[in-house]
Chain A
Amino acid sequence: MDLLQRFATGDLDAFESLFRQYQGAVYRWIVRIVRDPAAAEDLTVETLWRAYRAHARFRPDASFEAWLRRIATNAALDHLRSARRYVPLPADLPAGPQPDTAEQAESRKAIRSALDSLAPRLRIVVQLGLIEEESYREIAESLGISESAVKLRMFRAVRILRKKLQQWDVKP
């Protein structure tokens, strides 16, 4: 019996092997959504814990990574929705290669605020699609929706962002 089949029966040793194999990939996906390394570590554990509890629903012939990515995306979305509905981006995000002028710093702040103000289901699409430059197909698979639904969310999010940035006099 191979590793995935053993996992599907609830074998803990198989789960440990899969955990060690996939924890890095799950973390990399989540940290790009929540942009907070400590929260991303907790959510990685939560994702794999949810996967283990749902082992009986996993079909060994399906892609384990795609299944995990979908669980991870849901866990990250739950995190963005929790507490105060929105989790603001950490203020100490790395800056670009050039030091900011006051105007650039203001513009960056406005852009982050605009992104923070988006509903999590729109924000996740902007972060993965426009910032991390993931394909619509990958985003759609991770969210469990169609590519056209992702495009629609992106269109709505961009329209809101542009409107907010125009209000704040930041040239979108």
Chain B
Amino acid sequence: MNDREFKELGEKLRGAIPPLRQPELSRDLWPAMLQKMNEPRVRVPWFDWALAAIATAVLIFFPGAIPALLYHL
């Protein structure tokens, strides 16, 4: 592909999808930021941790289960 073809494709793209030269932000986003900061953090229930611990223990004590697990993932 030469430079001319490359340039032509660029022009074609810009013709179909005009560049956004200087898009301006229409509002202050700080209030949205404060809202995001005050959102409660997602808490992982204790039984999820227990399940993860059991799964880890199974993999440590029964490494033969790893290929079966990978097969099912």
> Which residues on A are within 8 Å of B, measured CB to CB?
16, 19-20, 23-24, 27-28, 31-32, 35, 37, 40-41, 44-46, 48-49, 52, 89, 93-96, 107-108, 111-112, 115, 126-127, 130-133, 155, 158-159, 161-162, 172
Instruction: Flag if B15 contacts A172 (CB, 8 Å).
Output: no
Total inter-chain residue pairs, C-beta < 8 Å = 93
Chain A residue, CB-CB nearest to B39: A49
Dominant SS among interface residues on chain A: helix
Instruction: Flag if B23 contacts A158 (CB, 8 Å).
Output: no
Write out the residue numbers on chain A whose beta carbons fall within 8 Å of the beta carbon of B27: 41
Write out the residue numbers on chain A whose beta carbons fall within 8 Å of the beta carbon of B16: 107-108, 111-112
Instruction: Flag if B30 contacts A19 (CB, 8 Å).
Output: yes
Write out the residue numbers on chain A whose beta carbons fall within 8 Å of the beta carbon of B33: 19, 45, 48-49
Mark B23-36 against chain A: 1 for CB-CB distance below 8 A, else 0.
11111111011001
Instruction: Flag if A131 contacts B1 (CB, 8 Å).
Output: no
- Those of B1-50 within 8 Å (CB) of chain A: 1, 5-6, 8-10, 12-20, 22-30, 32-33, 36-37
Write out the residue numbers on chain A whose beta carbons fall within 8 Å of the beta carbon of B13: 111, 115, 126, 130-131, 161
Chain B residue, CB-CB nearest to A155: B1
8 A-B pairs in the complex with CB atoms less than 8 angstroms apart: A27-B23, A28-B24, A48-B29, A52-B37, A108-B16, A130-B14, A132-B20, A158-B9
Instruction: Flag if A23 contacts B25 (CB, 8 Å).
Output: yes
Partner of B24, one of A24, A35, A48: A24
Chain A residue, CB-CB nearest to B11: A130
Write out the residue numbers on chain B whose beta carbons fall within 8 Å of the beta carbon of A130: 9-10, 13-14
